[in-house]
Amino acid sequence: MKKANLISIPIKLLLVIALLVGFNWVYTQYFWVDDLKKYDAHVLLDLWSKQDTCDVIYLGESSNFSIHPNDTQRYSISTLIGIESGYRVGSLNKGAYHAGIYIPLIQRIESETVHTVIVTLNLRTLNQATIHAPIETSLQKQARLFKLNPPLLNRVLLTLNAYDDKDVTERDKAMWYEWTYDTLKSQEVEFPAPTIKKWCELPKFVDENGEQDMEKRTLADHYIKAYAFQIDSNENPRMQELDEITRICKEKGYRLIFNFLAENTEYADSLVGEPLVWLMRQNRDILVQYLESRGAEVVDNLEAVPGKHYTDQNWTTEHYDEVGRQIIANRVADVLASGEE
């Protein structure tokens, strides 16, 4: 190779790097915000608009803003926490967000005033149906744009599909695999079946004619799919994400409170029975112990909201009516206040 060519290669390489640095500036100034809106990642814009005027950042999903049509008081949980505690609470929420998506958001907080981060956490985000949910691709795509990298790099990585972009059938397959082979183990409780799949196959609500009440049965099966699992701290990907959240908050000096949301244990009991509630409590204990051992505070709301205060009576959600939201907010506000000097 000619000597001139050999010399020109590093020069050209430097030129390309300089171009990329310049492009990053242009992209950040003129294109990034549009992309955040276009790809549904506007939660970062919310962070920018709120972080300098609040003391507490509340990271939540649909539980924060869902209301019952008959509610007279329509405040979100985060607003109520603000009212009860006196702190200025800025909420960042979007349906189906979970710990993995909160990580880059917490990394992006740059505020003089924020001292506490409240992270909502619901049991269902740790089950296989949610981990392998089809919506995960879309969530990961959104999160790609606000990861803590130069924005242009995130944009390129988005184009190159550098996020968890498995297709629906692959996700379904993984979920069914876990439901088929992940066995439930306990010395204290006898489960009706060793796996979710077998448990769901059992007949339920059979009347004297041998007919099943299909409506109740379907809902019971749904409760089983949502809650019949046992958290494996080493294997469950959410646990690593929660670890990461506690690490980042510690590093940034934020007080971290997990708002562990209430689940409808009353319905779980009446529809499926004690073994399911036992699993919910066991998972709660594992989670609380795990997070507290890492220095986080956990507000345990698992059984705090009575069944009638759930807005979705025919599904498993953490959506509460005004009473439910107030209960959760009070409990979080109490813990928030307990940290005051």
Partner 1 sequence: MLFNSVPYLIFLPLVVILYYFLAPKFRWILLLIASYFFYGYWKIEFLGLIALSTLVDFSASNQIGKSIEQWKRKAWLFLSLGTNLGLLFLFKYLKLFLPSKDLMQLSIKAAEYPVLGEMYYALYLVIPVGISFYTFQTLSYTLDVYWRKIEPEKHLGKFALFVCFFPQLVAGPIERFTNLRPQFDKEHRFNYINFKNGLRLILFGFFMKLCIADNLAQTVDAVYANPEQFSRWGIFSGTMLFGFQIYGDFAGYSLIAQGSAMLLGIELMDNFKTPYLSRSINEFWQRWHISLSTWFRDYLYIPLGGNRVKVPRWAFNIFIVFAISGFWHGAEWTFLIWGGIHGLMYLIEFLIKKTGIKFKGQSLVGGILTFLIVSIAWVFFRVDNLAAFSELVNQFKLDQGTQSLMFSKGLILPAALFILFEILLYNNRFDRWVDNKPALLRWGTYAFLLFCLTALGGAVNHPFIYFQF
11 binds partner 1 (CB under 8 A): no
Burial of 5 (0-12, 13-18, 19+ CB in 10 A): exposed
Q: How far is the CB of 107 from partner 1 (least distance, A)?
A: 20
Nearer to partner 1, 34 or 190 (CB): 34
Beta carbon of residue 229, minimum distance to partner 1 (angstroms, whole number): 16
Q: How far apart are CA 119 and CA 60, in angstroms?
A: 6
Comparing CB distances to partner 1, the nearer of 19 and 337 is 19
| Residue 276 C-beta: closest distance to partner 1, Å | 22
Question: In whole angstroms, how far apart are CA 150 and each of 2, 22, 89, 145, 261?
Answer: 36, 12, 28, 10, 34
Token digits of residue 236: 């469950």
Q: Is 39 in the site for partner 1 (CB under 8 A)?
A: yes
Contacts of 3 (CB under 8 A, 6+ apart): none
Site string for partner 1, 159-188 (x = CB under 8 A): xxxx--x-xxx--xx-xxx-xxx-------
Task: Give the residue with the Cβ less far from partner 1, 16 or 206.
Answer: 16
Residue count (the chain): 341
Q: Is 156 in the site for partner 1 (CB under 8 A)?
A: yes
User: Number of residues in contact with partner 1, rule: CB under 8 A?
Assistant: 38
Please tell me whether residue 202 binds partner 1 under the rule CB under 8 A.
Answer: no
Dig out the tokens for 220 from the structure. Answer: 């019971």
Shortest Å distance, C-beta 130 to partner 1: 16
- Cα–Cα distance, 198 to 181 (Å, whole number): 10
The reply on whether position 20 binds partner 1 by CB under 8 A is yes
Nearer to partner 1 by Cβ, of 37 and 308: the residue is 37
Nearest residue (CB) to partner 1, 120 versus 128: 128
Secondary structure of residue 2 in the 3-state scheme: coil
Give residue for tokens 């506490």: 116
Q: Give the distance between the most distant pair of CA atoms in the chain.
A: 93
**Closest approach of partner 1 to the CB of residue 168, in Å:** 7
Cβ-based nearer residue to partner 1, 21 or 337: 21
293 binds partner 1 (CB under 8 A): no
Nearer CB in complex with partner 1: 71/172: 172
Q: Which is nearer to partner 1, 166 or 250 (CB)?
A: 166
Distance between CA atoms of 165 and 171, rounded to whole angstroms? Answer: 10
| C-beta closer to partner 1: residue 159 or 187 | 159
Among 23, 75, 205, 290, binds partner 1 (CB under 8 A): 23
Binding to partner 1 in span 112-151, by CB under 8 A: 137, 141
**Is 205 a residue that touches partner 1 (CB under 8 A)?**
no
Please give the Cα distance from 83 to 287 (Å, whole number): 28
Concatenated DSSP letters of 288-331: HHHHHTTT-EEEE-TTTS-GGGBS-TTS----B-HHHHHHHHHH
Interface mask toward partner 1 for 68-97; x: CB under 8 A = ------------------------------
One of 15, 135, 202, 214 touching partner 1 (CB under 8 A): 15
Q: Name the H helices within the chain.
A: 3-30, 32-38, 43-50, 62-65, 77-85, 99-108, 128-131, 135-146, 151-159, 168-181, 196-201, 214-227, 237-252, 265-271, 274-292, 322-338
Q: Which residues bind partner 1 (CB under 8 A)?
A: 1-2, 5, 9, 15-16, 19-20, 23, 26-27, 31, 34, 38-39, 137, 141, 152, 155-162, 165, 167-169, 172-173, 175-177, 179-181
